[in-house]
């Protein structure tokens, strides 16, 4: 790693031309089979019953935050927009469904022409959310909306879990940059999505080149222990790396003896050595010893990067250590113990008939075990206290109170099937930083606790398009 590997600007270095700006658009195959079979069988039955074209409203929300979390982070919205746009039943997909005898010919013919033509509203990506928040609202006919349940939930549940972990880690790290290094700890495609979510949550860079290619995230990496072990002497490995990558590189110093490696690293690279990386041992103790040794050797500008199964708690414990950057892998890509957000996709309103002018009727599941839901198309607003900090997540149906009209959270993402709200990843990243900063200070505490602000429900007077 060079100085840029820390996620910090290097004087005279040209900025990444697409840093966080969306990267390169990569062709996405059909997402139509990222679907549970029951979505298709419901479609077939609704077509036969004559109810498939009833205007419907589905909402994504979670009934509770993962244990101990004080806020959630909306992530994956940009990927949802791509998935909806590419939700197409091409000839191969139709052929598969026909071969398996999953659907009848009438339904297959309907699917062959499927294009989502409805509207999608949602919390802007990077925003924070709380229990009950209508994170995404999908409106259209029952037929076109019900098919999107699984793909929307799989993206939002995964990406939001990673972003929440990343947000907690970046808060614990303060001004010290974080490097995402978890590609080898998860599915290869999940790794790319995780790197995107981590960058949104405050990480500075990733080791995953596919994420850099697709989303423009800064990428980093130099060498592993295998490179040192390849050579006859540690000095030979260091000399080879410095010769190839320059004195500003990062040398891994814990393959054998750390103190000896640090001495050799400075002898090879000189005081201009960019950084050393420590990947094992008592990181707090070792970091202090390495910092003292580097300073004594004249390498006062050499940075210290630590890795080794870090999570937000380990990062926080190193706050007083002379560490300049953290590399995080396993705990990040697994959501630091919470790999899903338990979001659900529920029908909350539907028309009385297939007449486009028919009024919407609120509907809701009623059950025991904490799985009830609240009917009606929701709006959401965040009420602030006298100091400008969030004090409540207010959710309601019908007319929005005047005092909350300027504090509404949902924005239009898709209108009439057309995507409206693609954004550069850096914009989303900045939005999350601002949203987190707008919460009470206790939001960033790592001790277990309830959501940092309560959710309040307001009964509305009608099922009109208030809040839209």
- Which residues make Cβ contacts (< 8 Å) with residue 1, sequence separation at least 6? 220, 221, 222, 249, 250, 274, 275, 277, 305
DSSP label at residue 408: B
Residues 333, 181: Cα–Cα separation, whole Å: 9
Residue 375, CA atoms < 13 Å, CB-side half-sphere: 13
How high is the pLDDT of residue 448?
Answer: 82
CB 390 within 8 A of CB 384: yes
How high is the pLDDT of residue 447?
Answer: 85
Closest CA to 59 of 154, 151, 133: 133
Phi–psi pair at 135, nearest 5 degrees: -60, -35
DSSP secondary structure string for all residues of 68-104 = T-S-EE---HHHHHHHHHT----HHHHHHHHHTT-S-
Q: What is the pLDDT along the chain (468 residues), one digit of tens a residue?
A: 554 445 443 332 233 333 455 576 666 578 999 999 999 999 999 999 999 999 999 999 999 999 989 999 999 999 999 999 999 999 999 999 999 999 999 999 999 999 999 999 999 999 999 999 999 999 999 999 999 999 999 999 999 999 999 999 999 999 999 999 999 999 999 999 999 999 999 999 999 999 999 999 999 999 999 999 999 999 999 999 999 999 999 999 999 999 999 999 999 999 999 999 999 999 999 999 999 999 999 999 999 999 999 999 999 999 999 999 999 999 999 999 999 999 999 999 999 999 999 999 999 988 766 677 899 999 999 999 999 999 999 999 999 999 999 999 999 999 999 999 999 999 999 999 999 999 999 999 998 889 999 999 987 543 333 333
Residues 63, 372: Cα–Cα separation, whole Å: 9
Q: Which helix (H) or strand (E) holds 415?
A: strand 411-415
How high is the pLDDT of residue 81?
Answer: 97
Residues 450, 217: Cα–Cα separation, whole Å: 33
Residues 377, 143: Cα–Cα separation, whole Å: 18
Cα distances from 234 to residues 16, 134, 290, in angstroms, run 33, 56, 17
């Amino acid at each position: 790693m060079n100085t840029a590997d820390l996620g910090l600007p290097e004087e005279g270095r040209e900025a990444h031309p697409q840093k966080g700006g969306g990267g390169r658009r990569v062709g996405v195959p059909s997402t139509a089979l990222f679907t549970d079979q029951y979505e298709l069988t419901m479609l077939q039955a609704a077509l036969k019953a004559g109810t498939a074209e009833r205007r419907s409203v589905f909402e994504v929300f979670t009934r509770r935050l993962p244990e101990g979390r004080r806020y959630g982070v909306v992530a994956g919205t940009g990927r949802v927009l791509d998935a909806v746009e590419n939700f197409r039943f091409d000839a191969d997909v139709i052929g598969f469904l026909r071969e398996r005898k999953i659907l009848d010919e009438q339904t297959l013919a309907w699917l062959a022409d499927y294009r989502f033509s409805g509207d999608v509203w949602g919390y802007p990506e990077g925003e924070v959310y709380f229990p009950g928040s209508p994170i995404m609202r999908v409106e259209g006919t029952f037929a076109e909306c019900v098919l999107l349940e699984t793909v929307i939930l799989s993206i939002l549940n995964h990406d939001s879990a990673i972003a929440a972990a990343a947000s907690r880690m970046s808060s614990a790290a303060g001004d010290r940059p974080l490097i995402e290094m978890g590609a080898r700890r998860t599915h290869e495609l999940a790794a790319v999505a995780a790197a995107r979510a981590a960058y949104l949550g405050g990480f500075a860079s990733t080791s995953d080149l596919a994420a850099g290619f697709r989303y423009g995230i800064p990428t980093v990496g130099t060498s592993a222990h295998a490179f040192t072990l390849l050579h006859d002497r540690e000095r030979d490995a260091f000399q080879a790396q410095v010769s190839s990558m320059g004195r500003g590189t990062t040398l891994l110093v814990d393959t054998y003896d750390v103190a000896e490696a640090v001495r050799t690293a400075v002898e090879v690279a000189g005081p201009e050595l960019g950084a050393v990386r420590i990947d094992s041992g008592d990181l707090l103790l070792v970091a202090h010893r390495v910092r003292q040794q580097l300073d004594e050797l004249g390498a006062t500008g050499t940075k210290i990067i630590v890795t080794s199964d870090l999570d937000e708690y380990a990062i926080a414990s190193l706050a007083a250590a002379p560490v300049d950057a953290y590399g995080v892998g396993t705990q990040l890509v697994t959501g630091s113990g919470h790999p899903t957000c338990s979001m659900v996709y529920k029908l909350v309103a539907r028309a009385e008939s297939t007449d486009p002018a028919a009024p919407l009727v609120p509907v809701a599941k009623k059950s025991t075990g904490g799985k009830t839901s609240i009917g009606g198309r929701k709006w959401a607003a965040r009420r602030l206290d006298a100091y400008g900090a969030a004090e409540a997540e207010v959710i309601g149906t019908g007319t929005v109170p005047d005092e909350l009209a300027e504090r509404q959270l949902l924005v239009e993402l898709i209108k009439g099937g057309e995507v409206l709200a693609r954004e550069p990843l850096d914009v989303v990243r900045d939005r999350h930083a601002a949203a987190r900063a707008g919460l009470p200070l206790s939001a960033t505490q790592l001790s277990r606790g309830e959501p940092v602000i309560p959710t309040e429900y307001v009964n509305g007077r009608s099922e009109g398009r208030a809040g839209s």
